[in-house]
């Protein structure tokens, strides 16, 4: 066999290995990103009991709000599946936390309480991290899916059974709408 045949064969083999490794890398980045979302969701769930305890003494007659937050947290913790599959319950928990903070506005002593302020800051920071993790996951999935659908990497993806991942999307149509501001 002539030398150029071996060179071309070597280049093709190198290219296939490079494509496969790139697909593996994208796939693992997507798994890491979904895991990051899960970590932040668990962090939020762990902060909520502390927040509820800090608020209980000030809001004895606002029991319904506290019960809703506790119930939403329990539903999130008992839900099975990936963060994508638990999204509706996570959104309900976010809504109950917003209600809790809105009700807390009626309690000046609570708003000034150092523990409450710190917990509120931690939860706000965690919500930001959850959103950031979701954006990172979607960017990673976009890269993986683009690579799987692009030629010639699509050939390697099909040979080695790489599959597309789902994007993290809002389930509630109301959350997609622009909020209306009235004065």
Predicted local distance difference test score (pLDDT) of residue 181: 36
What is the percent of the chain with per-residue pLDDT over 90, rounded to a whole number? 3
Q: Which CATH architecture has domain 3-162?
A: Up-down Bundle (1.20)
The per-residue pLDDT for range 48-76, each reduced to its tens digit, is 777 777 666 666 556 667 777 778 877 77
For residues 21-45, average pLDDT: 85
Determine the Cα–Cα distance for residues 136 and 140; give it in Å rounded to an integer.
6
Q: What is the pLDDT of residue 10?
A: 92
SS3 75: helix
Nearest to 134 by CA among 163, 165, 169: 169
**pTM of the full structure:** 0.60
Give 80's pLDDT tier (boundaries 50, 70, 90). confident
pLDDT digits over 120-176, tens only?
778 788 888 888 888 888 888 888 889 888 888 888 888 888 888 888 776 655 544
Residue 16 contacts residue 158 (beta carbons within 8 Å):
no
Report the pLDDT value the prediction gives residue 176, as an integer from 0 to 100: 46
């Amino acid at each position: 066999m002539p030398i150029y045949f071996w060179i071309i064969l070597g280049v093709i083999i190198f290219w296939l290995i490079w494509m496969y490794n790139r697909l593996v890398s994208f796939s693992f980045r997507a798994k890491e990103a979904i895991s990051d979302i899960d970590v932040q969701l668990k962090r939020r769930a762990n902060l909520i009991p502390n927040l509820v305890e800090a608020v209980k003494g000030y809001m004895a007659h606002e029991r319904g709000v506290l019960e809703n937050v506790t119930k939403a947290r329990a539903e999130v913790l008992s839900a099975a599946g990936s963060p994508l599959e638990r999204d509706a319950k996570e959104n309900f928990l976010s809504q109950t936390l917003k209600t809790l903070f809105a009700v807390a506005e009626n309690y000046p002593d609570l708003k000034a309480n150092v523990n409450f302020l710190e917990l509120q800051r931690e939860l706000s920071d965690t919500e930001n991290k959850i959103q950031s993790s979701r954006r990172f996951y979607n960017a990673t999935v976009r890269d993986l899916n683009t690579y799987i659908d692009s030629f010639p990497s699509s050939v390697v993806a099909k040979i080695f059974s790489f599959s597309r991942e789902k994007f993290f999307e809002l389930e509630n149509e109301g959350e997609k709408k622009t909020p209306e501001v009235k004065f």
